[in-house]
Structure 1
Amino acid sequence: MQDSYLEEILEFTNPDIREEYVNPHGTVRIGKVLEDLDALAGSIAYMHCDDNSAETIPLTIVTASLDRIDLLQSIPMDQDLRLSGHVTWVGSSSMEVSCWLETMSTPPPDPRETSYGVGVLAAQKRVPGKKILTAKFSMVARDPITGKAAKVNQLILETDEDRRLFRSGAEHKARKLMDSQFDLSAVPPSFEELNLVHELYKEYIQYLDPTYKREMPSNVQWMKDTVQQNLVMCMPQDRNIHGNVFGGYLLRLAFELASSTGMIFAKSRANFVALDDIKFKKPVKVGALLSLTSQVVYSSGRTFQVKVRADVIDPIKDEQSTTNTFHLTFEADHDVSRVMPRSYDESMRYIEGRRKKERWMRVSETNSTN
C-alpha cells in the first residue's frame, strides 16, 4: 500500500498560501481543499498503476465516485496541514483511494542550530497531529486504446494495518452495492416513509387551503423557496489530462453553491459536516454550459441536507443531461426551520434527504466507536 503513498503540505503559516484558502468568514475555503483531494486521489491511482516502463502507454484512470467525505473537526487556519493518502483496496479494474487531512506540528527550533539550518531542520521535524477530514474515492482504469476495463496492479498486504484497511475497503464496497439497491429511483418508499409523507400532506394542506385559516409558522419554509442556481461556462483552464473538466473543479462549484444555499436557509453560517456518495455519470466537456441547482431537502434540529444537481446544457441541440448529484450535510449554530414539501417529487427528495441524515448518523456513531 505504501508504494502509492503521496502527501502534500498546505503551508497555512505562509501568508501567501493561506490567502488562497481563506473564505470571507476568516475560515478555510473547504471547496478548494476538496478540489485538492480529488487531484491527490488521481495522482495516487496513477502511481499505483504505473509499471515503471517508459514504453508502456499509461492506463486511463477516471474517478467513478467520491464515496464519502467526513469533517471530523474544524480546519485551523493558523497551522500547516498535510493532505495524504494511498490505495487501500483493489478489485480487477477498480481501486479505493483513501485520503486524510491532518494538522502538522513543528517543534520549536533548537537554539543551538545555525540560522541557515533552522528552516530545513524544522520542516523535517514536522509530524502529523490530529486527523481533521477523511475521504474515499473509487477510481477505475480503462485501456487507453479500446476504452474497456483494464486490470490494475494487485496489493501485497504486509502488515495487520494493511489487512485491516483492505478488509474495510471490501466491506465498504459491499455496503455501497447494498445501498444502491434501496435507491428511491428503483425502490418505492417504505410503509413508514409513506405515512410520514401523508402526515406532511395533512399539515401543509392546512397552510394552502383558506378554509383552515391556518398561517404557516415562522419556523417552516417551503422547499421550493430554498432553490438557488448557478450557470457556468466550462473553460480550458479547468480541464484534466483527458481534456474533460476536472472533477475537483465541479466538486468545488457544487460545494460553494450548497454552502451559500445553506447560509440563506439558516440565516447564519452553514458549517460543513459531510459529503455523501457522488457518482460521476458522464464527463463534462470544455465549453459546455454547466447548470448547478441546489435545494434544501431535509432539516432537523440544527442539521440540514442540501442536494445539488449538475446538468450539462447543449444550447445548439436544446438538450440537457444530469452529470452529477451531490448530497451535503450542514450544521447551523442554532435550530433551523423545518423544510416543507408540497408535491410528490419534493416529498421524494425529502425522504431521500432524511435517509442521508440517518446514514450520516450511523457513520458518525461508527467513527466515534472506532
Structure 2
Amino acid sequence: MVEQLEKKMRETITIKTSHVSPPDTNHHGNLFGGKLMSHIDDVASIAATKFARKPVVTASTDSVDFFKPIRIGDAVTLEAIVTRSGRTSMEVFVKVVSEHLLSGEKSIAAFSFLTFVALDENGNPSPVPKAVPESEEERWLHETAQTRAAHRKKRKKESKELAEFFSKIAL
C-alpha cells in the first residue's frame, strides 16, 4: 500500500447517531457524561483511522465541553473530523448535537477535541498524511489547532510534573 502524503479533512468525516434510552441516563434523565465520552472516543477513533488507514490509539482527550443536557428519548448525533495532523498524531474535533425527536428541535450539546496516534504493525508511532482543509469551517479548525496544540503541550508538561509529585507522596 502506498502511503498518501496529504488527505482532505472531509474524507475523515464520521457521523454516528444513537437513541438515548433509560439505561444510558442518570437520575435526572440526562445522558451519562461517561456514556457520551465513550461515544465521542468511538466516533473520533473511526475518523482518525480513516485518516491514517492504520490502527490508532487515543493519546489525549483535550476537552469535553457540555452545553446542554441530552434527555431520555432524544437522538444524539456525533460528527467527527480530523482537523490537523503532525508527524504521527492527529487532532480530531467532535460536535455533539441532541435532537428532540418529537419536535425536531436540535441543539449543540457538546464539543470535544481529542488526539490520536497512528501505529505501525509493531505498535510504534507511524507517520500520517498532512491534513488539507477546503471549506471555511475546515480552515478555521485547521488554523486554530496550533493554539490548542500549544495548550496541550503545556498541560502535558504540568501533568508529568503532577505525576512525579504524587509518586512521592501517599494520599
| TM-score class normalised by the smaller sequence | 0.7 to 0.9
Length, aligned pairs only: 154
Secondary structure of 1:294 counterpart: strand
Q: Deviations over 1:184-231 (max 9, x none)?
A: xxxxxxxxxxxxxxxxxxxxxxxxxxxxxxxxx931111111100011
Alignment counterpart, residue 21 of structure 2, candidates 222, 225, 235: 235
Larger radius of gyration: 1
Q: Which residue of 2 aligns with 1:360?
A: 152
Deviation at 1:309, TM superposition (A): 0.8
RMSD (Å), alpha carbons? 1.7
Alignment counterpart, residue 294 of structure 1, candidates 77, 80, 105: 80
User: Contact (CA 8 Å) 1:293, 1:308: kept in 2 or not?
Assistant: yes
Alignment counterpart, residue 265 of structure 1, candidates 51, 58, 78: 51
* Residue 46 (structure 2) pairs with residue 254 (structure 1): no
Deviation at 1:248, TM superposition (A): 0.8
Q: Which residue of 2 aligns with 1:348?
A: 140
Structure 1: distance between partners of 2:28 and 2:114 = 28
Secondary structure of 1:335 counterpart: coil
Q: Deviations over 1:240-266 (max 9, x none)?
A: 011211111111111111112212211
Structure 1: distance between partners of 2:128 and 2:138 = 19
Structure scoring higher RCO (CA < 8 A, sep ≥ 6) equals: 2
The verdict on how the C-alpha distance between 1:367 and 1:249 changes in structure 2, with shifts beyond 3 A counting, is closer
The verdict on how the C-alpha distance between 1:241 and 1:358 changes in structure 2, with shifts beyond 3 A counting, is same
Structure 2: distance between partners of 1:250 and 1:331 = 22
Deviation at 1:332, TM superposition (A): 1.2
Q: Deviations over 1:146-175 (max 9, x none)?
A: xxxxxxxxxxxxxxxxxxxxxxxxxxxxxx
When normalised by structure 1's length, the TM-score is 0.40
Structure 2: distance between partners of 1:332 and 1:354 = 19
Deviation at 1:306, TM superposition (A): 0.6
Give the letter aligned to residue 108 of structure 2: T
Give the letter aligned to residue 309 of structure 1: K
Deviation at 1:317, TM superposition (A): 2.8
Deviation at 1:280, TM superposition (A): 1.4
When normalised by structure 2's length, the TM-score is 0.83
Deviation at 1:313, TM superposition (A): 1.7
Q: Which residue of 2 aligns with 1:115?
A: none
Q: Which residue of 2 aligns with 1:209?
A: none
Secondary structure of 2:134 counterpart: coil
Specify every segment of 5 or more residues in structure 2 that has no aligned partner in the other structure, as ranges.
120-125, 165-171
Specify every segment of 5 or more residues in structure 1 that has no aligned partner in the other structure, as ranges.
1-216
Alignment counterpart, residue 330 of structure 1, candidates 116, 119, 122: 116
Deviation at 1:365, TM superposition (A): 2.8
Q: Deviations over 1:291-323 (max 9, x none)?
A: 110000010100110111110123443322110
State the identity %: 23
User: Contact (CA 8 Å) 2:44, 2:80: kept in 1 or not?
Assistant: yes
Deviation at 1:356, TM superposition (A): 2.0
User: Contact (CA 8 Å) 1:329, 1:357: kept in 2 or not?
Assistant: no
The verdict on how the C-alpha distance between 1:354 and 1:246 changes in structure 2, with shifts beyond 3 A counting, is same
Deviation at 1:271, TM superposition (A): 1.4
Structure 1: distance between partners of 2:10 and 2:92 = 13
Which runs of structure 2 are paired with 1:45-194 in the superposition (5 Å)? Answer: none
Alignment counterpart, residue 303 of structure 1, candidates 73, 84, 89: 89
User: Contact (CA 8 Å) 2:90, 2:116: kept in 1 or not?
Assistant: yes
User: Contact (CA 8 Å) 2:97, 2:106: kept in 1 or not?
Assistant: yes
Structure 2: distance between partners of 1:366 and 1:243 = 36
Structure 2: distance between partners of 1:315 and 1:358 = 40
